[in-house]
Amino acid sequence: MERKRYETGSPWEPIVGYSRAVRVGNIVEVAGTTAMKDGQVVGVGDPYVQTAEILKTIEEALTHVGAKLEHVVRTRMFVTDISQWEEIGRAHGEVFRDIRPVATMVEVKALIDPDLLVEIEVQAIVPED
């Protein structure tokens, strides 16, 4: 099967050895994504803004490998403060309210930058023609 990769050009991709998204056949996996843009954290201190930014980045990654948000079947959310779940969930719900993928949200000790509050990864299945 053909393997499609989407890379954002982040300096970390070749160092760590990962792609933002990989599609093999009709399965798409999007790597853990944070609210980083041009090397800066978007929405410092605001979990809603960070989640919304992350979901935009994920949508872009899906598009680059021929998938759409409505193909997402699973989301995994890693949060540094579970008490902020409602703001994170609100942003997630605005995107996935009608799609309704399975979702997991877990609290983690820390993310790669202390200003990052949320990291999300997704799995999508593109309908076969």
pTM of the model: 0.95
**CA dist 46 to 88, 117, 121, Å?**
9, 8, 19
At 105 the pLDDT is 98
At 61 the pLDDT is 98
Encode the chain (129 residues) as per-residue pLDDT tens digits. Answer: 899 999 988 888 999 999 999 999 999 999 999 999 988 999 999 999 999 999 999 999 999 999 999 999 999 999 999 999 999 999 999 999 999 999 999 999 999 999 999 999 999 999 987
78 in Cβ contact with 119 (< 8 Å)? yes
Length of the chain as a residue count: 129
At 128 the pLDDT is 86
Token digits of residue 48: 């809603």
At 92 the pLDDT is 98
At 65 the pLDDT is 98
Domains and their CATH numbers in the chain: 3-125 (3.30.1330.40)
**Cβ neighbours of residue 53 closer than 8 Å, sequence gap 6 or more:** 35, 37, 42, 43
